[in-house]
Structure 1
Amino acid sequence: MKCPFCKQADSRVIDSRAAEDGATIRRRRECNGCGRRFTTYEVVEKLPLMVVKQDGRREVFKRDKILNGVIRSCDKRDISMEHIVALVNDIERDIRNTMDQEISSAKIGEMVMARLKDFDEVAYIRFASVYRKFADISSFLEELKELQAHKSEESQKEKTGKS
């Protein structure tokens, strides 16, 4: 950090604490050149995450869209809102951890489905039926077969892991 007084680029942190809003860190520094003290504030740079829709349009990422979709897919299931919110938090964290400024809606949908597959089978099928736009019963049955194969693989892994 460059000293605002002597412009030397070498300083040391004397004290760090969260600022009143909790979103910034206040640092008290001392210049190693002139010995004067100054304060800096550190904030996370938040660039908007853009979602690229199938038709090429772009819109700002909205966590609520994922939350609403998962809530609808979990309708009348014995799943607490706390678990649903935790799932959506994990999905959002994974999306933001890609460090890309743009993500396709298709990739988001696939991430949600991947999480739902292990979260709740019925919610997964419900979400997949809307997301994949099943045209007929055969495409729906195909997805069910894929889910059964996934469950069989998981079951085999558990058996071999426990043996």
Structure 2
Amino acid sequence: MHCPFCNHADTQVMETRELEGGDSIRRRRRCAGCDRRFTTYERIELSMPDVLKSDGRRVPYERSKLEYSMKLALRKRPVSEEALDNALDQVETRLFKLGVREIPSNTIGEHVMRVLRDLDTVAYIRFASVYRQFEDIEAFADAIQEIGARAPEGTPAGEDVPAPSPAPVPPGAAIASRAGHSSRKR
């Protein structure tokens, strides 16, 4: 390690400490040339795979792009920044564990959808509508049905479970007004 003050190549480690639960190491060093002290840090650097886009381009993986798209889906939803960070970490861990050098962008999208489905169903539908490029209402309804089919038993009403659709009204049936009065004249 070169000294940042005099660029001398010979430095001595005086003290070493683990930080952040063992994820990084702090070292105090002393320069043999100018006798000044400085601190260095060692951290694990994970090499994420390159992203293979649908048009064939290869681009470096960028966490910020993934975070941006997930924040758009989670906009105005009751999800904390900590929960978003945990979700991003889950996606990155899954991608890293694949052990490949290149990963198709659609694979990343599928991992994001799995994490969002568990985090917030509204965000899942928002992300899916852009990711899967819904072209009609039937595709949108299919995505909602998929979530409804996956809802855990005993889930209280109103907790991100789609409400059942109202019963169809037979043709020619009278519909009461909002105040509860009948539609006939008095």
Q: Tell me the TM-score range normalised by the shorter chain.
A: 0.5 to 0.7
In 2, Cα distance between equivalents of 1:100 and 1:60: 13
Question: Is 2:67–2:88's contact at 8 Å kept on the other side of the alignment?
Answer: yes
TM-score (norm 2): 0.58
1:17-56 alignment runs, 5 A limit: 17=16, 46-47=46-47, 49-56=49-56
* Alpha-carbon spacing, 1:45–1:125, altered in 2? closer, same or farther (3 Å): closer
The alpha carbon displacement at 1:122 in A equals 0.2
Question: Is 1:24–1:44's contact at 8 Å kept on the other side of the alignment?
Answer: no
The alpha carbon displacement at 1:138 in A equals 0.8
Extract unaligned runs of 5+ from structure 2: 1-15, 28-41, 155-186
Aligned match of 1:33:
none
Matched, 1:58 2:58: yes
Extract unaligned runs of 5+ from structure 1: 1-16, 27-41, 157-163
Amino acid at match of 2:88: V
The alpha carbon displacement at 1:46 in A equals 5.0
In 2, Cα distance between equivalents of 1:24 and 1:49: 25
Q: Judging by fraction of residues, say which structure has more helix.
A: 1
Q: Which structure would you say has the larger RCO, counting Cα contacts within 8 Å and 6 or more residues apart?
A: 1
TM-score (norm 1): 0.66
Pick from 152, 155, 163: which aligns with 2:153? 155
In 2, Cα distance between equivalents of 1:58 and 1:82: 30
Aligned pairs, number? 123
Pairwise CA RMSD:
2.6
Question: Is 2:48–2:96's contact at 8 Å kept on the other side of the alignment?
Answer: no
Aligned match of 2:139:
139
Q: Which has the larger radius of gyration?
A: 2
